[in-house]
Structure 1
């Protein structure tokens, strides 16, 4: 029974950390629950990705695809409080402006937004938007959901492979994530497989199967490359690197689906 309560607490903590939804009101959450929260991040992706996909579908009934996508992204930003985007900006500021581990960590902890972060935000959403609108609108909601979940699964991998880069008392959010147990890891895999299937089967009705491997290979290569780079530069992960890998892997998968759709349209 204690194990069940621990898993429930970690799941609620994940929802409280990674969205603005007040899951913490449902029960008293312990420090240990927050430390295990990242293990349930892919499951929370069903909420954030579901809001992104669902709001796009609703907005697309009223607005053109281009406008509906912007409004859907704004809806997800409101849900998450731009939590992951904060990590993306700090990541580019830190690794772009710092040379040593100490400099990188200090810059990432600074609350000011630098030029690297601004450029990262602009380029990220330009690439995201232009890629997404090139995918048929009827299947885009499924793709958006699958990319959101996949990004969280890829980011989740770095905690399994890297130690925490700072001293515990220097953690910005007061939580050092722990490696996942068997249950959350198994659920993460199931959620990933299910959401990829949901995206793949509608897309396969529009295009041939020849380039589908790109949508899986690109986020995996991106996340593994970033994990290797982060290990080399600062020796471990931070909350900011979690947010950065999440969004960049999500973008990589979206680019994979875009290439998949575009290349098949040539034949």
Structure 2
């Protein structure tokens, strides 16, 4: 016989297991794998579960499921019509206010492994829209992480930019218009360094940027603040007095904190 993957549902107050959720055998199409429950989310009586390697027509095209929390009944099996080989639909999943957001990091509408995200109506099982990065490029893996709340969808793209710094894209989940993109553009060069190190980043207009440097023991050895105009900025720091070793440079911008390792020789 076949052994199927399961998702386990627990009650928070008692820690007791309520039920096990399994994919409907009628929807397996002979594929009993699929990494069912690699990603899952719960909201308002519904559970959304991703199965990113489900082979629906194409190898590892992926799929998602929606279950009723009370009955354990599978309500919908979701496999977008335009899925292709190794799209990995269901690699990430989120649900809020009857909308299911599903990541497909291998989608190639923009370029090879540029990625995509889908929005579905959890009640009807119908597709609402497909989201793509406006600047999608090869190996961005847009959709590797996803979250939805109060009509706003945030989609991660860990491979974005040629140096793979990563990015997050924010969409209005109701109008589905593009919104802000929060880029991780914090770089250190040279690294390793001996005399000076340059910090390159993007700043929003008027925001205060704080840079802190800690040694490998967690001790603060440098702290700098600066107001910036919007756009690309470069900050040169003198590190000639620092002992050789590993340091951690943190850059705080508004409500975002980024940390990178710096080697001083």
| Interval containing the TM-score (normalised by the shorter chain) | under 0.3
Instruction: Give the structure with the higher percent helix.
Output: 1
Instruction: State the TM-score, normalizing by the size of structure 2.
Output: 0.26
Structure number with greater CO (CA < 8 Å, separation at least 6) is: 1
Instruction: Give the structure with the higher percent strand.
Output: 2
Higher CA-based Rg: 2
Instruction: State the TM-score, normalizing by the size of structure 1.
Output: 0.26
